[in-house]
Structure 1
Amino acid sequence: MHYDDIQAESAFGFDGNWKDFAKIALPNLLLTIVTLGIYRFWATTRERQYLWSHTRFVDERLEWTGTGKELFIGFVLVMLLFAIPLFGIQFVSQALVLRGYETAGVVLGLLPLFMIFYLTGLARFRALRYRLSRTRWRGIRGGSDDQGFTYGLSYMWKTFVGYLALGLLVPWSMTSLWNERWGKMSFGPHRFDADADSANVFARFLLFYLSPFVFVIGGVIAAATGGLAGYGIGGEEGAGVGLFTSVIILGLFFYVGLGLIAVAFYAKFYREAVGSTHWKDLHFGFEASTKDWIMLLIGDVLTVVLTLGIGFVFLSYRHWKFFVTHMEAGGDILLDELTQSTTATARHGEGLLDAFDIGAI
Structure 2
Amino acid sequence: MAGEISGTSAIRFWGRRSAFALILLRYYVLLVPTIGLYRFWLTTARRRFYWGHTDIGGDTLEYTGGAGQLLVGFLMALVVFVPVYGLFFYLSTQSASVVIIGYGAAAVLLWFLFGYARYRARDFRLSRTLWRGIRFDQAGSAWVYALRRFLWSILTLVTLGLAYPFMAADLWSYRYANSWYGDRKFGFAGSWKHLALPFYLAWAAMAAIVVWAIVIAEQTGLLENPLEGDPAGYFNFLLPLLAGFTVVTFYRAAEISRMFSAVRLGDATLTLRFSGLRLFWQYVLFAIALVAAYILLALGGFVVLTILASEAFAGYGVDFDLLLRAMQSSTITLLAIIFGYLLLFGAFTYVHELFLGYGFWHLLANSASIAGLDTLSDVRARAEDKALAGEGLADALNIGGY
Structure 1: how far apart are the matches of 2:210 and 2:20? 45
**2:354 corresponds to 1:314:** yes
CA shift, 1:4, in A, is: 9.0
Structure 1 residues 284 and 91 mapped into 2: Cα distance closer, same or farther (>3 Å)?
Answer: same
Pair 1:150-2:136 in alignment: no
In the alignment, does 2:355 pair up with 1:357? no
In the alignment, does 2:120 pair up with 1:134? no
**Offset, 1:344:** 3.0
Shift of 1:146: 2.9
Q: Residues 44-63 of structure 1: CA distance to partner in whole angstroms, max 9, x if unpaired? A: 11121122111111121111
Q: What is the Cα deviation at residue 252 of structure 1?
A: 1.3
- Aligned partner of 2:278 among 260, 270, 292: 292
Is 1:48–2:47 an aligned residue pair? Answer: yes
- Gap runs ≥5 in structure 1: 228-242
Letter in 1 for 2:273: E
Distance 2:18 2:232 in 1: 45
Aligned equivalents of 2:361 and 2:209: distance in 1?
A: 35
Q: Give the alignment's Cα RMSD to 1 decimal.
A: 3.1
Please tell me whether the aligned partners of residues 41 and 72 of structure 1 are also in contact (alpha carbons under 8 angstroms): yes
**Count of paired positions:** 337
1:264 is matched with: 250
Q: How far is 1:131 from its partner?
A: 0.8
- In structure 2, stretches of 5+ residues that fail to align are 222-228, 295-346
In structure 1, what residue type is equivalent to 2:194?
N
In structure 1, what is the equivalent of residue 178 of structure 2? 184
Moved more, 252-261 or 44-53: 44-53
Aligned residue identity for 1:314 = L
Q: TM-score when scaled to structure 2?
A: 0.75
Alignment of 1:167-316 (within 5 A): 167-215=161-209, 217-218=211-212, 250-308=236-294, 309=347, 311-315=351-355, 316=357
Q: 1:157 to 1:293 in 2, by over 3 A?
A: same
1:338: how far off? 1.3
Query: In the TM superposition, what whole-angstrom CA distance separates every residue of 1:324-346 from its partner, at most 9, and x where no partner exists?
Result: 11222112433542111257345
AA of the residue aligned to 1:72: L
One-letter amino acid of the counterpart of residue 120, structure 1: F
The answer as to whether partners of 1:283 and 1:331 remain within 8 angstroms in 2 is yes
Which amino acid in structure 1 is aligned with residue 177 of structure 2? G
Cα separation, 1, equivalents of 2:27 and 2:401: 19
> Larger deviation: 274-283 or 44-53?
44-53
**Pair 1:155–1:220, CA change in 2 (3 A):** closer
**Structure 2 CA distance for partners of 1:77 and 1:56, relative to 1, 3 Å:** same
Task: Report the alpha carbon displacement of residue 90 of structure 1 after superposing the two structures with TM.
Answer: 3.0
Contact 2:268/2:376 (8 A) holds in 1: no
Check if 1:71 corresponds to 2:70.
Answer: yes
Q: Which moved more, 1:308-317 or 1:112-121?
A: 308-317
d(CA) in 1 for partners of 2:115 and 2:263? 20
